[in-house]
Amino acid sequence: MEYTVQKLAQLAGVSARTLRYYDEINILKPARINSSGYRIYGQAEVDRLQQILFYRELGVGLDSIKKIVTAPSFDGAMALREHREKLLEKKKQLDVLITNVDKTIALTEGRMKMSNKEKFEGFKKMMIDENEEKYGKEIREKYGEDTVEKSNAKVMNMSQEDYDKVTSLEKQVKETLAQAFALGDPASDIALKAAELHKQWLCFYWNEYSKEAHAGLAQMYVDDERFTAYYDKEQPGTAEFLRDAIHIYAGMKK
Amino acid sequence: MEYTVQKLAQLAGVSARTLRYYDEINILKPARINSSGYRIYGQAEVDRLQQILFYRELGVGLDSIKKIVTAPSFDGAMALREHREKLLEKKKQLDVLITNVDKTIALTEGRMKMSNKEKFEGFKKMMIDENEEKYGKEIREKYGEDTVEKSNAKVMNMSQEDYDKVTSLEKQVKETLAQAFALGDPASDIALKAAELHKQWLCFYWNEYSKEAHAGLAQMYVDDERFTAYYDKEQPGTAEFLRDAIHIYAGMKK
DNA sequence: ATTGACCTTCACGTTGCGTAAAGGTGTAAG
DNA sequence: CTTACACCTTTACGCAACGTGAAGGTCAAT
Nearest nt (C1') from B6 Cα: C6
A175 assigned to some structural domain: yes
Whole-number average pLDDT of chain A: 71
Closest partner residue to A54 (CB to CB) among B77, B102, B120 is: B120
Q: Region B237-252: what's the mean pLDDT?
A: 86
| Residue with more model confidence, A164 or B192 | B192
How far apart, in whole angstroms, are the C-alpha atoms of residue A8 and residue A15? 9
Nucleotides in chain C near protein beta carbons (<7 Å) = 6-9, 15-19, 24-26
Looking at the structure of chain B, the number of domains it has is 3
**For residue A87, which residues of chain B lie inside 8 Å, CB to CB?**
94, 97-98, 101
pLDDT band at A233 (very low <50, low <70, confident <90, very high): confident
- Minimum distance, in Å, between the CA of residue B151 and any CA atom of chain A: 11
Nearest neighbour of B116 by CB, restricted to A51, A91, A126: A51
Mark which of A38, A56, A74 sits at the end of a domain: A74
Which range marks the domain in which residue B164 is found?
A: 160-249
Regarding whether B60 and B89 lie in a shared domain, the answer is no
Share of chain A above pLDDT 70, in %: 60
Contact A94 B87 (CB under 8 A): yes
In a domain, B46, yes or no: yes
pLDDT at B64: 85
Q: Are residues B36 and B101 in the same domain?
A: no
Q: Place B69 in a pLDDT band, splitting at 50, 70 and 90.
A: confident
- Mean pLDDT, range B176-200, rounded to an integer: 88
Question: Which pLDDT score, from 0 to 100, does residue A80 have?
Answer: 63
Q: Does B96 touch chain A (CB under 8 A)?
A: no
Query: Has residue B35 got a pLDDT over 70?
Result: yes
Tell whether B216 and B169 lie within a shared domain.
yes
Domain boundary among A32, A50, A74: A74
**Which of B83, B104, B116 has its CB closest to that of A80?**
B104
Biggest CA pair distance of chain A: 94
At residue B175, does pLDDT exceed 60?
Answer: yes
Predicted confidence band at A161 (pLDDT cuts at 50, 70, 90)?
low
Q: Say whether pLDDT at A143 is over 50.
A: no
Do residues B241 and B164 both lie within one domain?
yes
Asked which of A44, A74, A104 is the last residue of a domain, the reply is A74
| A104 lies within 8 A of chain B by CB | yes
The model's confidence at residue B140, banded by pLDDT at 50, 70 and 90, is very low
ipTM of the complex: 0.43
Q: Does B76 touch chain A (CB under 8 A)?
A: yes
pLDDT higher at B119 or B178 = B178
**Which amino acid does the sequence have at B138?**
E
Residue A105 located in a structural domain? no
* CATH label of the domain that carries residue A36: 1.10.1660.10
pLDDT, tens only, A25-64: 999 999 999 999 999 999 889 888 988 887 787 778 898 8
A134, part of any domain: no
B168 with B244, same domain?
yes
Please state the separation of Cα A45 from the chain's center in Å.
41
Q: Is residue A208 part of a domain?
A: yes
Burial class for B156, CB neighbours closer than 10 Å (0-12, 13-18, 19+)? middle
- In terms of domains, do B56 and B94 share one? no
CATH code for the domain in which residue A183 is found: 1.10.490.50
For chain B, the 3-state helix, strand and coil shares in percent, each to the nearest 5, are 75, 0, 25
Q: Are residues B24 and B95 in the same domain?
A: no
- Domain assignment present for A17: yes
Q: Tell me: the pLDDT tens digits for A56-114? A: 877 788 988 888 787 655 555 666 676 677 777 777 767 776 776 676 666 655 444 33
- Exposed, middle or buried by CB within 10 Å (0-12, 13-18, 19+), for B169? middle
Residue B27 lies in a domain: yes
For residue B115, say whether its CB is under 7 Å from any atom of strand C.
no
In a shared domain, residues B101 and B22: no
Closest to B249 measured CA to CA, from B207, B222, B218, B204: B218
B244, part of any domain: yes
State which nucleotides on strand D lie below 7 Å from a protein beta carbon. Answer: 7-12, 16-20, 25-27
